[in-house]
Structure 1
Amino acid sequence: MNIKRALISVSDKTGIVEFAKELHNRGVEIISTGGTAKLLSDSGIPVKQVSEVTGFPEILGGRVKTLHPFIFGAILANYDEQSHIADLEEHSISPIDMVVVNLYPFEEVQKQTRDEDTLIENIDIGGVALLRAAAKNHRNVVVVCDPADYPKVIKLLDSCGDVPLHDRRMFALKAFYYTMKYDSTIHKVLSELFASEKYEHMTFEKFSNPQVNYEILDNVDKRFVRLSKYTEQSTVVTLGALVVAQEPDFVIAFNDSLPVSMVNLKTSGGRICDLVGSTVVMRRLTNDMVRKLKESTFTIISYEEAEDEEYAQEALKGKELIKFTYFFENLQTEKIPIVHMVGNVMIKKLVSTMNIYRLLLASMPKNSLIAEQNDGFFKFETCPTNIIESLEKLIFDSEKAMIKLINIYTNAEVDNLFTKICGERGINIFTF
């Protein structure tokens, strides 16, 4: 028997007494907590309390029981690492070979109440940590979260004295899925409780990855853009794709989650040298554009079509190339949801995509400016406390480069001073 020590802590106690008896009969030492330990002990099964292992009592009304190095060190030790074995020996930690855990019944509780305190108290912490630790270290620890698997585990132990790796992997995947669903339910319920309406957390990502079967996509009935592959920048790539859908000659660049520069290729004569950022989005990736982007700092290049796909793939090796496809007939009539955090509440509003500046500013913080230059380039600035500072910086930079600002687009409340500064320089102001 390679399984010598098991930690059992379950909320759903279906079949656990029988399973624990079978483990005990095969020489497995059982560690347990709270109600599970009492049930097993009352059923005549020798049990060691977790507090006996850790030398520390349960505290905070049971919120902290298993979160201790004597438990997690015993679960997370990788026996292929000599330093891990040395750590166990130095600190007198005995390995745990099996973790049998299921979680507080948040799903059932949320069907009966929306009392915040009750819901919060039924969010499992230690159980999720135990499952994830054991699933992570499944080569060394068997993780069991489903009572339906108890008979299978006993059968495997009887057939070979262990649980084979492919079964350990299956149990680990089941545990990860179980905790994912658990967290998803918590997120859904608390979103309803804390936000002004259900699913206030809508973002472009829903539309750029509609093929992902997340429950949060249930209420989405319109696909705007499909990306060729998953990217952590799916939100900004989708936003960029919506912008260039309306202005095919535009190329837009983002840094993390915010737009930072843009250019009209026709007005600029094809120049893109002043674009800055980490992600760039365009309709058509020409061979000339490929040559210019090859030495650029952009790490993600997204486009609808390429002049020479093979050349682009070869020349831009080392950069992430993402193609996008549109899924709408007439974007001019569409409205899309944009979300802002106000305090701790997410506020959603629908933004018409007929105006790309309204669309961009709706995705940016309050007091943002988009400055259009007469050379075809657009500069973006945000200053939450003082938009005059942002305006003066844009004017200083343009005058230093002997370029004229022609339009300012903003989501700020414009005062007389702002209007005066722009008026003196012939800059048009558009507020959204």
Structure 2
Amino acid sequence: MNIKRALISVSDKTGIVEFAKELEKRGVEVISTGGTAHLLSESGINVKQVSDVTGFPEILGGRVKTLHPFIFGGILANFDEKSHIQDLERHNITPIDMVVVNLYPFEEIQKQTRDEDVLIENIDIGGVALLRASAKNHRNVVVVCDPADYEKIIKSLDLCGDVQLHDRRILALKAFYYTMKYDATIHRVLSELFASEKFEHMTFERFSNPHVDYEVLDKVDDKLIKLSEHTSESLAITLGAIVVSLDHSLIVGFNDSTPTSMVNIRNSGGRLCDLTGTTVVLRRLTNDIARKLKESTFKTIACEEIEDIDFAKESLKNKKIITYSYLKSLDNLENIKTASLLENILLRTTVNVSNAPQLLLALMPKYSIIAELEDGFFKFEVDLLSPTEALEKILEKTPVKIINVYVNGPVDSLFKKMCGENGINIFTI
């Protein structure tokens, strides 16, 4: 067991008692702070207070608890650096192998009040520092900010006594994204609160909501799509509507605003079985497609036309149906100005619209691949380090012949060799 010591300090206590008990069963020492320590102790878990580790009490009403070299030295030590090990030994600092932290619920508090003092006191400092430190040093420290990962981590510990590097990287990326969103929310709320001093900020809500008269693009005419109602899926629907305008037979699925699946129903014979995601966008919602989407994972169905609105509402009564319309013709459009949302910051880019896979890839992480299969389906894969590994994953999981692969990063000779051996055409952007 490589995980010997875990620091736990959470505001969202969902599943934390059960997780801590499982860690303790596996011989992991648990150290904690404040309310979390009290809860764990009352639940029969042997908890060591952070103040006992640091030899210093919590001060300033809890504002300073974990900000101490005995904590951050234990988290930031790189065991590949001999001098780091020597520093730990010289100062009697014990390493911390896992950090389990989620932050003060600023997002929820700001929905309830605009009292400056209340908002300020709900800005987490130590928690953000703990997450960023452990995410930075993820090769040596497992960082956990999402209760949904607890079960997976325990299974990994039982399998190999550790959390593999691939999973550590994913957890670290999640932590950086979590703290980024947290800080962006604070910036947005305080910008609105300090109206006379605020930094300029833009929200996609203002960009996409047709009922809000607030200009954020250079021209209001830059908008291409109008939605029947405002929705948190605006970005996915806007992008999807542009994609299906290129070929009316395409149906594309998204998780949040990330494309995850696509099919050309003309080539698939009407099959939709491999479509996945939470939001699906198509040109025309027929009764047949409505029946097929009834038991799907999709929560939102976006379309331009509906064959029978009453039938669709009855078949999809547990799902949200949103219609969209085009504000200008896209037939002769070569490029579009599109936008992606980084919490409250609208990032504008110019994207070539020559074909659907290349359009989708322009807004996906680097080294993403979209593979076009001969049965009309498209497989999506993301590897943050290498398109070759992404291609290997698709080939392993896909028995159907791949016709084309579209990739948004540089490819190496092995990638080209694999495509050549399998008769696959390569398109890069």
Quick check: 1:412 aligned with 2:413? no
- Cα distance between partner residues in 2 of 1:337 and 1:326: 14
Pairing of 1:391-430 with structure 2 (within 5 A): 391-399=391-399, 403-430=400-427
Q: Would you say the 8 A contact 2:210–2:227 is kept in 1?
A: no
Paired position in structure 1 for 2:372 = 372
Q: Would you say the 8 A contact 1:336–1:353 is kept in 2?
A: no
The alignment partner of 2:321 has SS state of: strand
- Cα distance between partner residues in 2 of 1:312 and 1:184: 45
Q: Would you say the 8 A contact 2:222–2:337 is kept in 1?
A: no
Paired position in structure 2 for 1:382 = 382
The alignment partner of 1:221 has SS state of: helix
Q: Would you say the 8 A contact 2:245–2:330 is kept in 1?
A: no
Residue 216 of structure 1: CA displacement? 3.2
Paired position in structure 2 for 1:337 = 338
Structure 1 letter corresponding to 2:314? E
- Cα distance between partner residues in 2 of 1:209 and 1:397: 39
Paired position in structure 2 for 1:31 = none
CA RMSD between the two structures: 3.5
Change (3 A) 1:277 1:321: same
Quick check: 1:350 aligned with 2:350? yes
Quick check: 1:209 aligned with 2:220? no
Q: Would you say the 8 A contact 2:340–2:347 is kept in 1?
A: yes
- Cα distance between partner residues in 2 of 1:302 and 1:354: 23
Q: Would you say the 8 A contact 1:207–1:225 is kept in 2?
A: no
Residue 387 of structure 1: CA displacement? 1.9
- Cα distance between partner residues in 2 of 1:258 and 1:340: 11
Residue 412 of structure 1: CA displacement? 1.0
- Cα distance between partner residues in 2 of 1:269 and 1:187: 55
The alignment partner of 1:243 has SS state of: helix
Q: Would you say the 8 A contact 1:210–1:223 is kept in 2?
A: no
Change (3 A) 1:381 1:418: same
Residue 393 of structure 1: CA displacement? 1.0
Q: Would you say the 8 A contact 1:410–1:431 is kept in 2?
A: yes
Structure 2 letter corresponding to 1:421? M
Question: Could you list the runs of 5+ residues in structure 1 that have no partner in the other structure?
Answer: 1-55, 61-75, 77-98, 102-124, 131-177, 192-198
1:49-76, CA deviations, whole angstroms, 9 ceiling, x for partnerless residues? xxxxxxx89x99xxxxxxxxxxxxxxx9
Residue 327 of structure 1: CA displacement? 0.6
Pairing of 1:66-215 with structure 2 (within 5 A): 125-126=116-117, 181-182=192-193, 188-189=199-200, 208-214=208-214
Structure 2 letter corresponding to 1:308? D
Residue 186 of structure 1: CA displacement? 6.1
Paired position in structure 1 for 2:279 = 279
Quick check: 1:299 aligned with 2:299? yes
- Cα distance between partner residues in 2 of 1:288 and 1:214: 40
Structure 1 letter corresponding to 2:383? C
- Cα distance between partner residues in 1 of 2:274 and 2:375: 10
The alignment partner of 2:213 has SS state of: coil
- Cα distance between partner residues in 1 of 2:276 and 2:225: 24
- Cα distance between partner residues in 1 of 2:315 and 2:323: 16
Question: Could you list the runs of 5+ residues in structure 2 that have no partner in the other structure?
Answer: 1-59, 65-108, 122-188
The alignment partner of 2:365 has SS state of: coil
Q: Would you say the 8 A contact 1:207–1:226 is kept in 2?
A: no
Structure 1 letter corresponding to 2:193? Y
- Cα distance between partner residues in 1 of 2:246 and 2:207: 17
The number of residues matched between the two structures is: 255
Q: Would you say the 8 A contact 2:406–2:426 is kept in 1?
A: yes
The alignment partner of 2:222 has SS state of: coil
The alignment partner of 2:296 has SS state of: coil
Pairing of 1:230-249 with structure 2 (within 5 A): 230-249=230-249
Change (3 A) 1:323 1:340: closer
Change (3 A) 1:336 1:100: closer
Change (3 A) 1:261 1:184: farther
Q: TM-score by structure 1 length?
A: 0.53
Paired position in structure 1 for 2:179 = none
Q: Would you say the 8 A contact 2:280–2:301 is kept in 1?
A: yes
The alignment partner of 2:364 has SS state of: coil
The alignment partner of 2:216 has SS state of: helix
The alignment partner of 2:384 has SS state of: coil
1:67-107, CA deviations, whole angstroms, 9 ceiling, x for partnerless residues? xxxxxxxxx9xxxxxxxxxxxxxxxxxxxxxx998xxxxxx
